[in-house]
Amino acid sequence: MIYGYARCSTNEKKQDINRQIRELIQQGCTRETIYCEYQSGTKTDRVELNKLLRAVSEGDTIIATEISRLSRSTKQLCEIIDFVKDQKLKLVVGSFVVDCTTGTIDPMTAGMLQMMSVFAELERNMICERVRSGLENAKAKGKKIGRPAKTKDEVPAIFLKYYPQFADGDINVCELARLCGMSRTTVYKYIKIVEAN
């Protein structure tokens, strides 16, 4: 069986994962055997990656379009390589094929994968450093960073309609959330805004 793994760091509104899916299908995956997720490549406990690793069995193939999609952590990639070797799988990263179906991996191949991972991790660290430097520079120039704080004028009318009942103790947060058709997290956010004003 051929499985694919596609990953983007942010949600589907900000990043398009479809290019990866198309490339994985071209390499032999079906849409049903591709595991997609929007998580950081440094996160070690990724839901879809874990599902994929539980789904594979001896002789199967895992495909990712590039090493940074699989992981941006050298340590985690080494763990994935060990898993592939122990489970006697084939790992394909772009055009780079790692055949561990015999339960072994040649040292040169393992070294090349680890080098690719080091560069993926380095690239991520450099991006983070540039972002941090840019934010510090903007702060130094007096620019406000982050989303502007919401004002009472931006609180929805439906919330303001039922809020007095909550303030008087007639309803609790759960009931307020239900009446407004909002999550409790959103309700708490609006309570904070209203009470601050």
Active site members? 9
Torsion angle defined by CA atoms of residues 48, 54, 55 and 61, in that order, rounded to the nearest 10 degrees: 90
For the chain, the straight-line distance linking the first and the last C-alpha, in angstroms and rounded, comes to 59
CA 86-90-91 angle, 5° bins: 100
Question: Which segments of 67-146 does DSSP mark as H helices, in order?
Answer: 67-70, 74-86, 107-140
- Look up residue 54 and give its two tokens: 């539980």
**163 Cβ neighbours under 8 A, 6+ residues apart:** 176, 190, 191, 194
Report how far residue 110's alpha carbon sits from residue 117's, in angstroms, rounded to the nearest whole number: 11
Amino acid identity, position 88: K
Q: Hey, which residues does 64 pair with through a beta bridge?
A: 93
Query: Could you give the maximum distance between any two Cα atoms of the chain, in Å?
Result: 71
Report how far residue 65's alpha carbon sits from residue 135's, in angstroms, rounded to the nearest whole number: 31
